[in-house]
Amino acid sequence: MSLRLMTVHAHPDDESSKGAASSARYVSEGHEVMVVTCTGGERGSILNPAMDRPDVVADLPAIRRAEMARAAEILGVQHRWLGFVDSGLPEGDPLPPLPEGCFALEDLEVATAPLVALIREFRPHVLVTYDENGGYPHPDHIKTHEISMAAWDAAGDPDRFPGTGEPWQPLKLYYSHGFSKARLLAFQDAMEARGLESPYKEWLDNWSDRPDPGLRVTTRVPCADWFHLRDEALIAHATQIDPTSRWFLVPRDIQREVWPTEDYELVKSSVDASTPEDDLFAGIPDEVAVRRAG
């Protein structure tokens, strides 16, 4: 039985750092996965020193599109752009205003319409997005959450967004949660037990009392057999991902042993899905999937 999963992300590379191994697993099992990228990442910094060259800077939007195409190919997913413009990450005190015309400043209805159209076209059974904090408080990530929630509410309503396709209501909605404190501590303990230096010590030392999104996890998808594809997809985003960075400092065998899952929070469901779960499609009956695919 083939089911459909849609994941909604702010920038190219987010799909590879958040849930990529799950996506690759579901594709390998015969399901359809569509990655939606809201912006082109035009205002992203070049984070890989090897790619910080004048020719790359001059053509960054086109290069990031090519990187995204390669990452999608590696993961085996379908991919669509929503076509909005990266807002950049404001820095300074006080924070500067966001640039005119950027994604984060778009009217909610305007920004939601193309996502509703894609949901009605692709007809996903499951939708994955970011939590209300955007996973981290980048304005584009927060806007991605906002339009995902609005699209979830609107896509099945025939009175909303006329002219964008036949109504379609996904069955389950998840937030992705990648960086729980427990996960980082588990990696740190495993590395130190092997005499290796943890890349997360400073991060954990500065964790303070901020909320741990890991406490909200309801669903852990086993996907260690696809971690290598996740890493290949990340490396495909060469302007953003330094292959010597902390993304790759925890040996893959430790990852497989200590934390072989990608983690999610079930937020909305119209099927009988009891938590904890180990599958984003859990609770979707065969007959419902077949009927909704017809």
Q: pLDDT tens-digit profile of 200-225?
A: 988 898 887 778 889 999 999 999 99
Classify domain 4-179+214-293 by CATH number: 3.40.50.10320
Query: What string of DSSP letters covers 97-158?
Result: PPPTT-GGGS-HHHHHHHHHHHHHHH--SEEEE--TT-SS--HHHHHHHHHHHHHHHHTT-T
Positive or negative, the CA dihedral 147, 21, 242, 256 is positive
Tokens of 22: 């799950």
Cβ count within 10 A of residue 105: 16
- For 110-149, the pLDDT digits (tens) are 999 999 999 999 999 999 999 999 988 899 999 999 999 9
User: Which residue, among 83, 185, 176, has the nearest Cα to 133 in the 3D structure?
Assistant: 176
**What is the arithmetic mean of pLDDT over 228-247?**
94
Query: pLDDT averaged over the chain?
Result: 93
Report the percent of the chain where pLDDT is more than 70.
97
What is the spatial distance between Cα 243 and Cα 228, in angstroms, rounded to a whole number? 13
Q: Is 11 annotated as a binding residue?
A: yes
289 or 162, greater pLDDT: 162
* Per-residue pLDDT band at 293 (split at 50, 70, 90): very low
What's the pTM?
Answer: 0.95
The 8-class DSSP code of residue 197 comes to P
